[in-house]
Structure 1
């Protein structure tokens, strides 16, 4: 990686946001994401607000499967704010539950009936996420399911910046040169390797908190408690993007 020629994903996404805001018809529920600028790349991470975000879904087919539950928690000044934890179940997706995923996430139709409609859930979630930085483990899941739920077109960006704890883990020197088939990059396994306690896996809010904790450990391990900017984090992630 030659940093001088590093393609800045944040500046590119910000340009796409502005272009869409002034030229596209943006779905109403997605509009709050387009109305706020993205954080500046030179911002220190201690000055930023992060949201660890986790989706439990009916499967991994972005075109057909649905979001069943959403968990989130904030990180500020390198601390997980448990008082901000949120957990939503989506009531109108109960008919798409599959036996093979229900075994893993323990979400049954009767649980979802107590939740919110997807529309109401997004009306609460999207303004909350706007202007913040999202942290997920294997972030492509949350990114693609959220873009579809918001009915954004293929040419419209999802103007949220995602940091991926799986990619940050892979960027560390002990993973260099290893074939992916020999690396267990599950959230539970990486936490175990880092000395973090076991938790209730495949529960959206528990996974969000677990991801937030892992993120802080990774930042400490990678940057050795130095002052870190958003740009440095993005470059670190891009090593194995």
Structure 2
């Protein structure tokens, strides 16, 4: 992780963000596994489709119930790779970018669990949780504390194409992040520390 020797600044205009999502066998990082990872980068407030990453992972653990959500079958059509290879590619892609996810604590926990299985150190990237950023911006105080991605997409009139795919959810999250930040910046000048939450310093397992 040599890239962390040259940390990014905190200027939102010049930071590289990587929005990511995982699809998994379940919701318990201790026993469940990642089935796919999807990312898209943001730089200078522009979504960089050319700077994206997607992979499908072969896992021995399988949960038929989770297929109802993400549609990923154990012997589906997607070309799959071993977990360790996928995680290495993911790390090479994100470098020292600021990571963004909706319900980030879960996705980060899944990545950290995979790193632990590989005997690697913990993820060191700064992390932003979309729900926390939304609450900080105080755009709609009437919404409940834990707002779903569907609810946010509906509020901001964002089509939910490829919902419940890792890449699709990452793209929806990236659109939401830019819209929320634009609203927030109408109220005040903001910096990275204004957007961070306890998940930003997650240590995990």
TM-score bracket, normalised by the shorter chain, equals 0.7 to 0.9
Q: CA RMSD in A?
A: 2.6
Higher helix share: 1
The equivalent residue for 1:8 is none
Residues 9-48 of structure 1: per-residue CA shift (max 9 Å, x gap) = xxxxxxxxxxxxxxxxxxxxxxx277434333xx311111
Within the alignment, does 1:125 sit opposite 2:94 as a pair? Answer: no
The equivalent residue for 2:194 is 232
Residues 63-113 of structure 1: per-residue CA shift (max 9 Å, x gap) = 00000000001101001111222210002x1x3221111011000011277
Within the alignment, does 1:146 sit opposite 2:108 as a pair? Answer: no
Residues 126-155 of structure 1: per-residue CA shift (max 9 Å, x gap) = 1221211000000011111111111189xx
- For 1:80 and 1:113, locate their aligned partners in 2 and report how far apart those are by CA, in whole Å: 25
Where does structure 1 lack aligned partners over 5 or more consecutive residues? 1-31
2:53·2:93 contact (CA, 8 Å) conserved in 1?
no
What SS does the corresponding residue of 1:51 show, helix, strand or coil? strand
Where does structure 2 lack aligned partners over 5 or more consecutive residues? none
What SS does the corresponding residue of 2:158 show, helix, strand or coil? coil
Within the alignment, does 1:75 sit opposite 2:37 as a pair? Answer: no
Structure number with larger C-alpha Rg: 1
The equivalent residue for 2:126 is 161
What TM-score does the superposition give when structure 2 sets the normalisation length? 0.85
1:74·1:84 contact (CA, 8 Å) conserved in 2?
yes
1:89·1:112 contact (CA, 8 Å) conserved in 2?
no
2:115·2:122 contact (CA, 8 Å) conserved in 1?
no
Pairing of 1:1-241 with structure 2 (within 5 A): 32=1, 35-40=4-9, 43-91=10-58, 93=59, 95-111=60-76, 114-151=79-116, 157-173=122-138, 175-176=140-141, 180=145, 185-224=147-186, 228-234=190-196, 237=197
CA distance 1:229–1:172, shift in 2 (3 Å): closer
What TM-score does the superposition give when structure 1 sets the normalisation length? 0.73
What SS does the corresponding residue of 2:123 show, helix, strand or coil? coil
Aligned length: 197
CA drift of 1:176 comes to 4.3
CA drift of 1:175 comes to 5.0
CA distance 1:179–1:210, shift in 2 (3 Å): closer
